[in-house]
Structure 1
Amino acid sequence: MQTDVLAVDTLRFLAADMVEAAQSGHPGMPMGAAPMAWTLWSRHLRHDPADPEWADRDRFVLSAGHGSALLYGLLHLFGYDLPVEELRRFRQWGSRTPGHPEFGETPGVECTTGPLGQGLAMAVGMALAERMTAARYPEITGHRTYAIVGDGCLMEGVSHEVASFAGHMALGGLIVLWDDNQITIDGAVGRSCGDDQVARFAAYGWHTEVVADGTDIAAIDAALMRAKGDPRPSFLAVRTVIGHGAPGVAGTPKAHGSPLGAEQLALAKELAGWVLPPFAVPEQVAAMCAALAAIGGEEHATWLEEFAAFDAAAPERAAEFRRAAARLLPDGVLPALEAVAARVPRATRQSSQACLTAALSTMPELVGGSADLAGSTGTVCGDVVTRDDFAARAVAFGIREFGMAAILNGMSLHGGFRVFGSTFLVFADYLRPALRLSALMRQPVIYVLTHDSIAVGEDGPTHQPVEHIESLRVIPGVQVLRPANDAETVLAWEMALTRVDGPTALILSRQSLPQLDIEISAAGSRIADDESAADAAVETELAAAHPSTGVAREIEIVATGSEVALAAGAAEQLRAEGLDVRVVSALDRSRFTADPRAHTISIEAGSTAGWAGLVDLAIGIDEFGHSGPGDEVMAHHGFTVAAVLARIRGYLDGTR
């Protein structure tokens, strides 16, 4: 126990030293939560610092990401590639110790946390992925997911969505420790929240327990042991004191987001009997952590032997496991997608359903679902995952858009799965924070977003997206694809599945669209040469260079999705008047470049904000829609061939 006390103080003062050196950060949470973190890491967490990506490791998520100094201290003590020099560079440019944990920047950090609640949500996703992996590969799967959350995580709405989901699914491999310090930045939690969190989680179907003294390592250890033996997810409320051991600061908001100050830090160390210099680790603690890390290495070695036996007994399944973990597509998926075609008009959400069905037939790792809209969004994918059947493919997320997207991030981070989720485009607003983290963490989550314009019609302006496509395009790293027919929908799915470094949003129509003859002019599976592309009625622009034919066109009309047919109709009449017109379907607008020799006109039933700097005339909608039949709403807002021609002719008259 003496070593435990010394280790806890080491974590506390490493964190306080980091914040003091940076003159920025949050010392209070690490100082209060250090005992629970040490108990978890020293007695329960199954991990190998020599290989932070070991597939069957336990996952640890610090949802209260402002306490990042605690996590960095743990990683340093246990021998991850995070030397003391990086602790000294806490929150500095180019360091591996950023202000909030960032996936991909620091070995051992499982996900990017900072926006409160999303760490908890991603932990739920990781726990779900573990159960689904165990259902497929029971011979080589047996890990758990742990998370430390704070009061802010539990106040955020996403925590309600995912806690309800986890309880319903009986995710018994998930254990959450609540740092119950009763303090937020602005003051006592009681100023704004009086929830009985333990009763709340019990109502969700979780195993719950209270640890009244957050410094009692034996009590925390015993609570964790009981949690590991319970088939339900577990919520352990651990009462702590923020800024523990810092006189005049402990238990107050002063410990939350500011350095303790040299005088207070020195006093805290004096009261703890700490005489070592800043960033020092006692030899006794270093030796204990090295021994614990070695045990993790031995557990990893045992697992490798188990995997070798599994590989020998079931080589095809083992190869499938390795392929999925590496995010490599099976050989049959692209040919299966190429076979998707229809000669009759249909909505691109229906085309997408056909693509999804084809992909599912060849990709056992492809899983996902919808926010209670699978039939409407074209994401029906077989049997639904239940607490009794984790081998199924379809996840019923319920009407929890934010929770769905955050869970998908956790599943993707866990590894072994390619994931998708769906809802109506207008409700992308509800999941946007998690989509942003998908991009920030470079996770290849596929978002199927349907009912993509005011053509939704009778449901009215609350369900008619206007600014939404543009709002997704401005998020760095998000690939936004809006196909116009079956061929482009196939290409969009190919692009989404072959991308492994970021999310894709598929923007799909509710209404039927004609099967236009569209040539792929510069990328994808069907590439036309310059001559055939120049003569095509419509081209899909997928290059950052304009195809050159040596002939200056007078007009270039660029459109997306359902408006491509409208552009083609307008172009036909303009050509009949003797004008040279090129029509481009900008499946991915980020790759479109206007022809500098032509008058370029865009048509999209959405905000014109992003088109303004790309084209000479942007035809769109910058107001809310109306309730009524979709074609009537579109006509009212000028999306008819006649109205488009009038806008184009008016523009041309003003330029001549």
Structure 2
Amino acid sequence: MSSFQPQPADLKSVNTIRALAADVVAKANSGHPGAPMGMAPVAHILFTRFMQANPRNSKWYNRDRFVLSNGHACALQYTMLHLLGYKVSMDDLKQFRQLDSITPGHPEVGVTDGIEVTTGPLGQGFANAVGLAIAQAHMGGTFNKDGFEIFNNHTYMFTGDGCLQEGVASEAASLAGHLQLGNLIAVYDDNHITIDGDTNCSFTEDVEMRFKSYGWEVLHVNDGNNDLAGIAAAIAEGKKNTKQPTLIRLRTIIGFGSKEQGTGHVHGAPLKGDDISQMKQKFGFNPEDKFFVPSDVADYYAQVAQNGAAAEQAWNKTFASYKEKYPAEAAEVERRMEGRLPEGWESVLPTYTTEDAAVGSRKLSETVITKLAAVLPEFIGGSADLTGSNLTRWKGATDFQPPSTGLGDWSGKYIRFGVREHAMVAIANGLAAYGGIIPFTATFLNFVSYAAGAVRLSALSHFRVLNVATHDSIGLGEDGPTHQPVETVAWLRALPNMQVWRPADGNETSAAYLVCLKSTHTPSTLCFSRQNLPQLANSSIEKAARGAYVLEDVEQGKKADITLVSTGSEVCLCLDAVKILREQGLNVRLVSMPCQEIFKVQPAEYKLSVLPSGAPVMSVEAYSTFGWGEFAHESFGLPSFGASAPAPLVYKKFGLTGEGIAEKAQKVVGFYKKRGGEVVSPLITALGEINDQ
């Protein structure tokens, strides 16, 4: 039996939430009122009876985390944040979905106080919640001591039919069940409505059996509209289960209280004025009152907020005692949760000379990861079932696994994501959101496209997530066009706030990790080769860390005929071309550009020294040439998909050899000489940063 104790303000609180949500959406004339009205009872019970959080300090380390995976219902979350006393005012509610407000159309981390992750694309929040739960289990397994549960919070997540139809949620749920994440409780709003109408038209699977097969505990509340005691009992039961994640199937009526309740009409459109009036009258409110919070409801939520502050105060006392007994561990907790990197960690990054052997950059990446594992305990991640190919597991690594499996323990830093690319990156977003962890993921570059939705949200959320992407070109050879990325880097480079690195040798690989780890609010994709690459004579970590630099220049006093600019495995091919072109009497420069995004933010003077006026610039890359117009006058790349054959033959087929590149360069030089006139740097444009040279 539940220990639920009803409070006088419970029913009025639930109806206040419903009325506020309806008012918020109506004023904006945009949004989704139905789910907030249907889920008001479970939101009220969760936030007043179970959530351990302090609205006065929304970043308290051990707070319970809440994720609204069905992010279209954000009027509900904003309403709860306001009632609880987070930095969301009534005026902020009135500015819902308006320009520059802190209450955008879907929840965004960093915009609204109390929002943990950016949700909206369905299923992403589900996977984020799994990441948050993994993070707690890991931090607890690493730092908790007998008598000191420094990290023991729960992650609560609301989800709906739309999320559960998305593959990313299925991937994440499967992994959560395997990992026995007993700290994760999901509430499934089973209201039978999606945008197309009743779910009978497309979604008739047995959700409960699916989640049981994943290894989840499944509980039920058959009247989510009224049964507050049943809701409380289900959440309490879920908290007792420390061996399984819990799914609570909550039957609700979407838009409860509306004349259109239970239909698709209340899913994604504001209620009409007369409907809101009759609903308020039904709930005992004055139909003329808008954005109204009764005093007893406000007082009740103020007390809940005080309880949250008291919970943090009690934790602070525990942590103070922990700090006295375990000062080194406490200092590490604070460093990691504050996002500070250890002093001198950069010193472990390896450097190379031409005396070092040619190896694939995926192997160079493995060397860096191995070095980092020893000095960056927060560097945690794994591969989507490609560990042996991505080379992301260091010697002596412990897997993150439930101790009962005998495969690892909760303090393990290597995650076996399985063949779940999309969930892998979405889970990494949750790991980053928790704090104290710098997550990395790994797959083939081509299959980063499987995770595109989550990659985009890494960038939008400003999460430091490192995506290791090996087998980065036609150089992977025999696997053929299905595995050879052609367009992948183009769309990654098109993402705002994404760093795309394609190192050409060991020094550039070290530079890539250096810059990515220092970029606290930017995700990155690091593209590494399968084939061996020689160590370059004029490379260095310092040069590569600027995004682009001159690898080969013309003799002093001579005027360049052409500048080649390239990345990754094609840089050494361009070196072959430079030799050929010089033998043919041309003065040739070669620029290595491992990261366009970092080069773009360098000072104008430096950028123009790398890509100056006076000679045409030709880019060379074994991808689509799309996007190179910003840095080159001409571009040489792949005109189509790749081919299945040994790598040297594939490169030869597309002319990406020293001879082929030299031939293209001669054509470019001849064209611009024939045309005559000054050749202006491609960096100098009317609307660009450099426009007055």
Take 1:300 and 1:105, find their aligned partners in 2: how far apart are those partners?
23
Using a 3 Å threshold, how does the CA distance of structure 1 residues 343 and 144 change in structure 2: closer, same or farther? same
Using a 3 Å threshold, how does the CA distance of structure 1 residues 73 and 484 change in structure 2: closer, same or farther? same
| 1:384 aligned counterpart, secondary structure | coil
Q: Please name the residue that 2:253 is paired with.
A: 241
Q: Please name the residue that 1:354 is paired with.
A: 367
Take 1:340 and 1:641, find their aligned partners in 2: how far apart are those partners?
24
Take 1:642 and 1:5, find their aligned partners in 2: how far apart are those partners?
78
Kindly indicate whether the alpha-carbon contact (under 8 Å) linking 2:351 and 2:507 is maintained by their aligned counterparts in 1: no
| 1:91 aligned counterpart, secondary structure | coil
| 2:533 aligned counterpart, secondary structure | coil
Kindly indicate whether the alpha-carbon contact (under 8 Å) linking 2:60 and 2:312 is maintained by their aligned counterparts in 1: yes
Q: Does 1:195 align with 2:201?
A: no
Within 5 Å, give how 1:95-174 maps onto structure 2: 95-138=101-144, 139=148, 140-174=150-184
Could you tell me how far 1:578 is from its partner in structure 2? 3.0
Using a 3 Å threshold, how does the CA distance of structure 1 residues 363 and 446 change in structure 2: closer, same or farther? same
Take 2:547 and 2:41, find their aligned partners in 1: how far apart are those partners?
60
Amino acid of the structure 1 residue aligned with 2:315? W
After TM superposition, the structure 1 stretch with the greater mean CA deviation from structure 2, 570-579 or 68-77, is: 570-579
Q: Does 1:427 align with 2:422?
A: no
Equivalent position to 1:176, from 186, 204, 218: 186
Residues 572-616 of structure 1 show CA distances to partners (whole Å, capped at 9, x for unaligned) of 222233322111110112316532211111110001011134312
Q: Does 1:3 align with 2:3?
A: no
Kindly indicate whether the alpha-carbon contact (under 8 Å) linking 2:508 and 2:544 is maintained by their aligned counterparts in 1: no
Q: Please name the residue that 1:640 is paired with.
A: 657
Take 2:108 and 2:319, find their aligned partners in 1: how far apart are those partners?
30
Could you tell me how far 1:551 is from its partner in structure 2? 5.9
Equivalent position to 2:596, from 560, 568, 589: 589
**TM-score (norm. length: structure 1):** 0.95
Using a 3 Å threshold, how does the CA distance of structure 1 residues 64 and 521 change in structure 2: closer, same or farther? closer
Q: Please name the residue that 1:543 is paired with.
A: none
Equivalent position to 1:384, from 388, 391, 399: 399
Kindly indicate whether the alpha-carbon contact (under 8 Å) linking 1:333 and 1:358 is maintained by their aligned counterparts in 2: no
Aligned-residue sequence identity (percent) comes to 41
Could you tell me how far 1:375 is from its partner in structure 2? 1.4
Residues 361-385 of structure 1 show CA distances to partners (whole Å, capped at 9, x for unaligned) of 1011111000001111120131211
Kindly indicate whether the alpha-carbon contact (under 8 Å) linking 2:575 and 2:658 is maintained by their aligned counterparts in 1: no
Q: Does 1:577 align with 2:592?
A: no
Could you tell me how far 1:169 is from its partner in structure 2? 0.3
Q: Please name the residue that 1:608 is paired with.
A: 625
Q: Please name the residue that 2:321 is paired with.
A: 309
Amino acid of the structure 1 residue aligned with 2:591? V
Could you tell me how far 1:652 is from its partner in structure 2? 2.1
Take 1:171 and 1:552, find their aligned partners in 2: how far apart are those partners?
64
Amino acid of the structure 1 residue aligned with 2:398? D
Q: Does 1:364 align with 2:377?
A: yes
Could you tell me how far 1:526 is from its partner in structure 2? 9.7
Within 5 Å, give how 1:275-286 maps onto structure 2: 275=286, 277-286=289-298
Amino acid of the structure 1 residue aligned with 2:170? H
| Length, aligned pairs only | 642
Take 1:326 and 1:129, find their aligned partners in 2: how far apart are those partners?
15
After TM superposition, the structure 1 stretch with the greater mean CA deviation from structure 2, 86-95 or 592-601, is: 592-601
Amino acid of the structure 1 residue aligned with 2:436? G
Take 1:189 and 1:15, find their aligned partners in 2: how far apart are those partners?
24
| 2:53 aligned counterpart, secondary structure | coil
Using a 3 Å threshold, how does the CA distance of structure 1 residues 48 and 17 change in structure 2: closer, same or farther? same
After TM superposition, the structure 1 stretch with the greater mean CA deviation from structure 2, 575-584 or 595-604, is: 575-584
Q: Please name the residue that 1:565 is paired with.
A: 572
Kindly indicate whether the alpha-carbon contact (under 8 Å) linking 1:519 and 1:527 is maintained by their aligned counterparts in 2: no
Structure 2 alignment gaps of length 5 or more = 1-5, 404-408, 601-606, 674-693
Q: Please name the residue that 2:55 is paired with.
A: 49
Kindly indicate whether the alpha-carbon contact (under 8 Å) linking 2:567 and 2:621 is maintained by their aligned counterparts in 1: yes
Equivalent position to 1:269, from 256, 275, 280: 280
Residues 320-366 of structure 1 show CA distances to partners (whole Å, capped at 9, x for unaligned) of 11111122211242100145777000000000000000011101111
Q: Please name the residue that 1:228 is paired with.
A: 239
| 1:457 aligned counterpart, secondary structure | helix
Using a 3 Å threshold, how does the CA distance of structure 1 residues 527 and 298 change in structure 2: closer, same or farther? closer
Structure 1 alignment gaps of length 5 or more = 540-547
Take 1:320 and 1:235, find their aligned partners in 2: how far apart are those partners?
34
Kindly indicate whether the alpha-carbon contact (under 8 Å) linking 1:340 and 1:354 is maintained by their aligned counterparts in 2: no
Amino acid of the structure 1 residue aligned with 2:237? R
Amino acid of the structure 1 residue aligned with 2:82? H
Take 1:538 and 1:422, find their aligned partners in 2: how far apart are those partners?
36
Kindly indicate whether the alpha-carbon contact (under 8 Å) linking 2:106 and 2:118 is maintained by their aligned counterparts in 1: yes
Q: Please name the residue that 2:529 is paired with.
A: 509
Kindly indicate whether the alpha-carbon contact (under 8 Å) linking 2:501 and 2:526 is maintained by their aligned counterparts in 1: yes
Could you tell me how far 1:522 is from its partner in structure 2? 7.2
After TM superposition, the structure 1 stretch with the greater mean CA deviation from structure 2, 311-320 or 489-498, is: 311-320
Could you tell me how far 1:518 is from its partner in structure 2? 2.8
Take 1:610 and 1:485, find their aligned partners in 2: how far apart are those partners?
23
| 2:347 aligned counterpart, secondary structure | helix
Could you tell me how far 1:554 is from its partner in structure 2? 1.9
Using a 3 Å threshold, how does the CA distance of structure 1 residues 344 and 226 change in structure 2: closer, same or farther? same
**Alignment RMSD:** 1.8
| 2:300 aligned counterpart, secondary structure | helix
Amino acid of the structure 2 residue aligned with 1:264? D
Could you tell me how far 1:319 is from its partner in structure 2? 1.3
Using a 3 Å threshold, how does the CA distance of structure 1 residues 65 and 518 change in structure 2: closer, same or farther? same
Q: Please name the residue that 1:21 is paired with.
A: 27
Take 2:426 and 2:547, find their aligned partners in 1: how far apart are those partners?
36
Kindly indicate whether the alpha-carbon contact (under 8 Å) linking 1:62 and 1:147 is maintained by their aligned counterparts in 2: yes
Q: Does 1:556 align with 2:563?
A: yes
Q: Please name the residue that 1:453 is paired with.
A: 473
Q: Please name the residue that 1:257 is paired with.
A: 268
Using a 3 Å threshold, how does the CA distance of structure 1 residues 650 and 23 change in structure 2: closer, same or farther? same
Take 2:34 and 2:537, find their aligned partners in 1: how far apart are those partners?
63
Amino acid of the structure 2 residue aligned with 1:401? E
Q: Please name the residue that 1:331 is paired with.
A: 343
Take 1:520 and 1:581, find their aligned partners in 2: how far apart are those partners?
21
Equivalent position to 2:70, from 64, 75, 94: 64
Amino acid of the structure 2 residue aligned with 1:209? L
Q: Please name the residue that 2:312 is paired with.
A: 300
Take 2:94 and 2:24, find their aligned partners in 1: how far apart are those partners?
6
Take 1:417 and 1:57, find their aligned partners in 2: how far apart are those partners?
16
Take 1:320 and 1:521, find their aligned partners in 2: how far apart are those partners?
28
Take 2:182 and 2:546, find their aligned partners in 1: how far apart are those partners?
47
Amino acid of the structure 1 residue aligned with 2:98? Q
Take 2:332 and 2:615, find their aligned partners in 1: how far apart are those partners?
51
Kindly indicate whether the alpha-carbon contact (under 8 Å) linking 1:64 and 1:148 is maintained by their aligned counterparts in 2: yes
Kindly indicate whether the alpha-carbon contact (under 8 Å) linking 2:547 and 2:593 is maintained by their aligned counterparts in 1: no
Q: Please name the residue that 2:37 is paired with.
A: 31
Q: Please name the residue that 2:424 is paired with.
A: 404
Q: Please name the residue that 2:676 is paired with.
A: none
Take 2:94 and 2:63, find their aligned partners in 1: how far apart are those partners?
28
Q: Please name the residue that 1:542 is paired with.
A: none
Residues 257-294 of structure 1 show CA distances to partners (whole Å, capped at 9, x for unaligned) of 11111111111111222127111111111111111110
Could you tell me how far 1:552 is from its partner in structure 2? 3.9
